[in-house]
Amino acid sequence: MTMKKKLLTLLLLASQTLVYAEGSALLITLKGGSQAAYIFSDKPVVTFTETAMSVKVADASTDYQRADISNFKFVDASEVAAIDQISEGSTLFEYTDGKISAAGAPIQVYSLSGHLLKSGSSSVSLADQPAGVYIVRMGKQVIKVRK
């Protein structure tokens, strides 16, 4: 590994949090052209390893392989809400007060052991589920949610 790559990797590993402002959203564009948009109510923690990027907030986390990411940026949440066309394979979702909403995407909620617990067409409530960590699939996107 060249010195330049080592320095870049060290800087990426050392960066724990990117710039954040109230009403921010993280827009991730993958190499295939699909996008994932995350609108935050809490300050996110974005961490990097040599091979992955992890986005975490109090109630949820998701991971991306760095090789799959074309670019990512923080934008104003209104920019994400104003996107007229999100490329095929993208899912815009929200997790608030135990309710998962994904614009027009099927949602499946699984236990950590892989059992399907709930499913819905555009929203699913976890209100009747005990506190814990759940795996949520929305379209092609998979995240972990902590209730």
pLDDT in tens, 78-96: 766 554 444 444 556 777 7
The DSSP bridge partners found for residue 60 are: 145
For the whole model, what pTM was predicted? 0.48
Pairwise pLDDT comparison (147 vs 7), residue with the higher score: 147
Strand 45-48 relative to strand 99-102, pairing: unpaired
pLDDT value of position 96? 76
Strand order in the sheet with 52-56: 45-48, 52-56, 60-65, 141-146, 133-138, 107-110, 116-120
CA–CA distance, 132 with 34 (Å, rounded to integer): 30
| 142, pLDDT greater than 60 | yes
For position 14, what pLDDT does the model report?
45
Report which of 72, 35, 25 is spatially closest to residue 53, judged by C-alpha positions.
72
| pLDDT at 116 (0 to 100) | 93
The predicted pLDDT at position 128 comes to 92
**Residue range 21-78, pLDDT digits in tens:** 455 778 888 887 777 777 776 677 888 888 888 888 777 778 888 888 888 888 777 7
Cβ-proximal residues to 126 (8 Å cutoff; 6+ apart), any chain: 98, 99, 100, 109, 118, 134, 145, 147
> How high is the pLDDT of residue 117?
94
- pLDDT tens track for 100-130: 887 777 889 999 888 999 998 888 999 999 9
* Res 7: pLDDT: 53
